[in-house]
């Protein structure tokens, strides 16, 4: 086998054989296939796709590149959740402790930012002392003692995906459905969770721009999970507008704590509770009320224990960006659109995301929203606040916000888009 022949097969719209897939994944993991060669193959897959047989084999090869975890020693059923990525999507932060408070164990292996979308680990690392990297033994201990853990996949878990995940982020190949499906499901199957709920985002701020593409991705992942013995369901959720009122690392942690304290934006609360109910149902827990656990502080208690167990200080003051720039409404009326993709790119350009896989992120960078679609605004009032430590980035971020919103005359009716668009099981 050689990398060039594998690349040519997919470049010419051919079907990769099982032997080609097994070889290229193994060789890339070992360093025999170079980053630039895998980048070329990833682009060919983005442009020409893969069939179900190829995707299943690619996923199996990713799993086989490392170890598989086992949570059978836990006294609770396990349930995990994965989002395909969005803008302001901080749902994992309140969701994991909420589901744990209701009786399930939540082994949440999360990732870093991809393109314009935020990364759960980047957000949590804005908490002083918090550690994303845990050994398998540490992960199991935190899970056993607190009920929930949010951490990075260990080096032994699907190491092929760890390399490819970072490469996709900086080569314009994040949106490839076969690579998204295999990346997510290889980690989740290898992780050993008993059940899985997928939050597949749809809209301008998502990698899946259309409901048809989102259904294809969701169906592919549900099939991969089910065939591997993991009870899997997917919700298709709206990502045309940012979730909540913040997009950025420390900004989203603050908002998540507000949700755990019984407040927070209504859309974040709604989606958190909806996903919690799905996770509890797939785990076989029928009598818990996640809305009650969120309102009475039980979930907050689990959050504090979980953060402390990973070295973080739940009472620490979170980082704040040194510089702010306020964007005001250009006219009075009803805000009818606030584009999630534009806000995500602005946050990324301000320093909340990466241009290269080795780049650091700014904990305090991001975008704060002062209005959401459907609300009335007045000319000159704050619409967005941009946060960064590097004010020279403001002009570049502002360019992404050109035509990012629509303001209609006062009295214009606005029909909100439902957060949950569909369910696939």
| Active-site residue (options: 65, 83, 183, 256) | 183
Residue 296 annotated among the catalytic residues of the structure:
no
> Among residues 304, 188, 205, which one has the least CA distance to residue 257?
304
Residue from 10, 57, 162, 187 carrying the catalytic annotation: 187
CA-closest candidate to residue 88, choices 200, 252, 284: 252
Backbone CA torsion sign across 245, 248, 254, 255: positive
182 is catalytic: no
| d(C-alpha 213, C-alpha 185), whole Å | 17
Q: Choosing from 22, 80, 89, 161, which is the catalytic residue?
A: 161
Residue (of 283, 302, 305) closest to 100 by Cα position? 302
C-alpha–C-alpha distance, residues 58 and 181, integer Å: 10
CB 72 within 8 Å of CB 110:
no
Q: 287 catalytic, yes or no?
A: no
Selection from 230, 237, 187, 197 nearest residue 215 by Cα: 237
Q: Which residue has the tokens 């029928």?
A: 286
Active site residue 183: yes
Q: Maximum CA pair distance of the chain?
A: 66
Select which of 162, 163, 168, 349 is catalytic.
168
User: Are the beta carbons of 111 and 233 closer than 8 angstroms?
Assistant: no
Respond yes or no: is residue 126 known to be catalytic: no
247 has which bridge partners?
Answer: 367
Name the DSSP letter for residue 32.
Answer: S
Catalytically active residues are 82, 161, 168, 183, 187
């Amino acid at each position: 086998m050689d990398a060039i022949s594998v690349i040519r097969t997919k470049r010419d719209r051919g079907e990769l054989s099982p032997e080609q897939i097994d070889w290229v994944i193994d060789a890339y993991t070992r360093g025999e296939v170079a980053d630039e060669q895998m980048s070329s193959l990833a682009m060919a897959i983005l442009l020409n796709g893969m069939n179900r047989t190829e995707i299943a084999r690619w996923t199996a090869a990713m799993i086989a590149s490392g170890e598989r975890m086992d949570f059978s020693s836990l006294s609770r059923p396990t349930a995990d959740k994965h989002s395909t990525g969005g803008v302001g999507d901080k749902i994992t932060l309140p969701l994991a402790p909420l589901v744990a408070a209701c009786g399930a164990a939540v082994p949440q292996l999360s990732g870093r930012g991809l393109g314009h979308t935020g990364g759960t680990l980047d957000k949590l690392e804005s908490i002083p002392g918090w550690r994303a990297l845990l050994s398998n033994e540490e992960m199991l201990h935190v899970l056993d003692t607190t009920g929930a853990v949010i951490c990075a996949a260990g080096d032994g878990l699907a190491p092929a995906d760890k390399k490819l995940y970072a490469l996709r982020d900086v080569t314009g190949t994040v949106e490839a459905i076969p690579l998204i499906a295999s990346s997510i499901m290889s980690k989740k199957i290898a992780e050993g969770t008993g059940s899985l709920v997928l939050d597949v985002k749809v809209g301008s701020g998502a990698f899946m721009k259309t409901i048809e593409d989102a259904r294809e991705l969701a169906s592919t992942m549900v099939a991969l999970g089910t065939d591997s013995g993991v009870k899997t369901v997917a919700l298709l959720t709206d990502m045309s507008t940012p979730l909540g009122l913040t997009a950025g690392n420390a900004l989203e942690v603050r908002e998540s704590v507000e949700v755990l304290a019984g407040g927070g934006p209504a859309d974040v609360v709604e989606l958190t509770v909806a996903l919690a109910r799905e996770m509890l149902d797939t785990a076989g827990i029928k009598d818990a009320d996640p809305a009650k656990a969120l309102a009475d502080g039980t979930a907050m208690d689990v959050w504090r224990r979980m953060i402390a167990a990973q070295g973080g200080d739940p009472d620490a003051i979170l980082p704040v960006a040194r510089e702010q720039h306020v964007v005001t409404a250009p006219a009075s009326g009803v805000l009818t659109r606030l584009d999630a993709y534009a806000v995500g790119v602005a946050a990324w350009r301000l320093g909340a995301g990466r241009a290269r896989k080795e780049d650091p992120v700014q904990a305090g960078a991001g975008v704060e929203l002062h209005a959401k679609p459907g609300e009335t605004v007045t000319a000159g009032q704050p619409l967005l606040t941009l946060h960064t430590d590097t004010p020279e980035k403001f002009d570049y971020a502002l360019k992404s916000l050109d035509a990012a919103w629509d303001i209609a005359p006062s009295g214009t009716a606005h029909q909100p888009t439902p957060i949950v668009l569909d369910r696939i099981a």
